Amino acid sequence: MQLVIFNGSPRGKNSNSEVIIQWLIEGLQQEADNPIDLLYLNKTQNHQSYISRIQASDTALIVFPLYTDCMPGIVMAFFEALEPLRKSLSGLKLGFVVHSGFPEAHQSRFVEKYLQWLAEELDAKYMGTVIMGSSEGIRSMSSSMTKKKRKLFNQLGNSLLLENQFNVEIVKKIAGREKMSNFAAQCFSILSKTGITNYYWNSQLKKNKVYQDRFAKPYSERH
Partner 1 sequence: MKRITIINGMSDNSYLTLEHELEVILNKNKANIEFECFDLRNMDINYCCGCWSCWVKTPGRCIQEDEMPRLLKSMINSHLTVFVSPVHMGFVSANIKKVNDKMIPLLHPYIGIFNGECHHIKRYDQYPKLGLILVDRISYGKDSYDMITSIYQRLAINMKTELAFSILSDGNMEEVDYAISHL
2 binds partner 1 (CB under 8 A): no
Are 83 and 50 a contacting pair, CB within 8 Å?
Answer: no
Judged by CB, which is closer to partner 1: 163, or 221?
221
* 199 scored as a contact of partner 1 (CB under 8 A): no
38, 51, 70, 141: which one contacts partner 1 (CB under 8 A)?
A: 70
Please give the radius of gyration of the chain, using alpha carbons only, rounded to the nearest integer: 19
In the list 38, 51, 76, 141, the residue contacting partner 1 (rule: CB under 8 A) is 76
Nearest approach, Cβ of 75 to partner 1 (angstroms)?
A: 8
Choice between 107 and 146, CB closer to partner 1: 107
Query: At a CB cut-off of 8 Å and minimum separation 6, what does 180 contact?
Result: 103, 104, 188
Q: How far is the CB of 179 from partner 1 (least distance, A)?
A: 6
5-24 binders of partner 1 (CB under 8 A): 9-11, 15
Of 6, 50, 79, 96, the residue at the interface with partner 1 (CB under 8 A) is 79
What is the Cα–Cα distance from 123 to 91, expressed in whole angstroms? 8
| Residue closest to 91 by CA, chosen among 145, 51, 55, 139 | 55
What share of residues in the chain are helix, strand, coil (percent, to 5)?
Answer: 50, 15, 35
Count the Cβ atoms, other than its own, within 10 Å of residue 168: 10
Stretch that binds partner 1, among 26-34, 160-168, 169-177, 203-211 (CB under 8 A): 203-211
Angle value at C-alpha 94, between 123 and 159, nearest 5 degrees: 140
Cα three-residue angle 35-37-41, rounded to 5 degrees: 165
| Residue 222 interacting with partner 1 (CB under 8 A) | yes
Residue ranges in contact with partner 1 by CB under 8 A: 9-11, 15, 42, 44, 65, 67-74, 76-77, 79-80, 82-83, 86, 102-104, 106-107, 110-111, 113-114, 117-118, 121, 179-180, 182, 185, 188-189, 192, 197-198, 201, 204-205, 207-208, 210, 213-222
